[in-house]
Structure 1
Amino acid sequence: MKKNPIVQLPILRSSYENLTNAERRIADYIMDNPHTFIKQTVSDIASSTKSSEITVSRFCKKLGFNGLQNLKIALASGIKPSNNLNYQNIETTDSYQLIAGKIFQNITDGLNDTLKLLNFADVDHAVTLLSKAKRIAAYGFGNSATICKDIETRFIRFGIPVQAYSDSHQQFTSASLLNKNDVIIAVSHTGSSTELLESVKIAKQNAAKIIAITSYSNSALSKLADITLTGMGREVHYRSEAMASRLIHIAIVDLLYTGMSIKKHTSYVKNINKMRKVIAQKRNT
Structure 2
Amino acid sequence: MNASPQHQLPIIRSAYNDLTKSERRIADYILKHTDRIMTETIPELAKHTGNANSTVSRFCKKLGFSGLQDLKYALASELSSEGDENYQDIHPEDSYQDVAAKIFQNITDGLQDTLKLLDFEAIGKAVDCLSSARRIAVYGFGNSATVCRDIETRFLRFGFVVQAYDDAHQQATSASLLTPDDAVIAVSHSGATIELMDTVRIAKASGATIIVITSHAKSDLAELADITLTGMGREVRYRSEAVASRLIHMAITDVLYTGIAMKMPDRYLNNIQKMRAVIAEKRV
The answer to whether 1:132 aligns with 2:132 is yes
CA apart distance, 1:91: 2.2
Shift of 1:50: 2.1
How far 1:282 sits from its partner (Å)? 3.0
Per the alignment, in what secondary structure is the counterpart of residue 210 of structure 1?
strand
Partner in structure 2 of residue 69 of structure 1 = 69
Partner of 1:220: 220
Q: CA deviation at 1:241?
A: 5.9
CA RMSD, 1 decimal: 1.8
5 Å matches for 1:123-272?
123-240=123-240, 242-272=242-272
Q: Identity rate of aligned residues, in percent?
A: 61
SS at match of 1:200: helix
Runs of at least 5 residues in structure 2 that lack an aligned partner in the other structure: 1-7
Q: Which residue of 1 aligns with 2:12?
A: 12
* Aligned pairs for 1:117-128 within 5 A: 117-128=117-128
- Aligned amino acid, residue 246 of structure 2: R
Counterparts of 1:93 and 1:20, CA distance in 2: 34
Deviation of residue 101 (structure 1)?
1.1
Please state if 1:36 is matched with 2:39: no
Quote the offset at 1:32 in angstroms.
Answer: 2.2
User: Which amino acid letter does the alignment assign opposite residue 103 of structure 2?
Assistant: I
Amino acid of the structure 1 residue aligned with 2:97: Q
Contact 1:179–1:206, Cα closer than 8 Å, also in 2? yes
Amino acid at match of 2:114: T
What SS does the aligned partner of 1:185 have? Answer: strand
Matched, 1:274 2:255: no
Q: What one-letter code is carried by the residue in structure 2 that aligns with 1:226?
A: D
1:147 touches 1:250 (CA, 8 Å); kept in 2?
Answer: yes
State the secondary structure of the residue aligned to 2:228: strand
CA separation in 1, counterparts of 2:173 and 2:43? 54
Cα distance change on mapping 1:241 and 1:53 into 2, 3 Å: farther
SS of aligned partner of 1:39: coil
Q: Which one-letter code corresponds to 1:13 in the other structure?
A: R
Q: Give the counterpart letter for 1:137 in structure 2.
A: A
Unaligned runs of 5+ in 1: 1-7
* 1:76-100 Cα distance to aligned partner (Å, 9 max, x none): 3444779x75x60222222222221
Deviations 1:177-201 (A, max 9, x none): 0001111100001001111000000
Distance 1:81 1:204, change over 3 A: closer
Select between 197-206 and 17-26 the one with higher mean Cα deviation. 17-26
Q: Which moved more, 1:214-223 or 1:275-284?
A: 275-284
Equivalent position SS for 2:256: helix
What is the Cα deviation at residue 61 of structure 1? Answer: 1.0
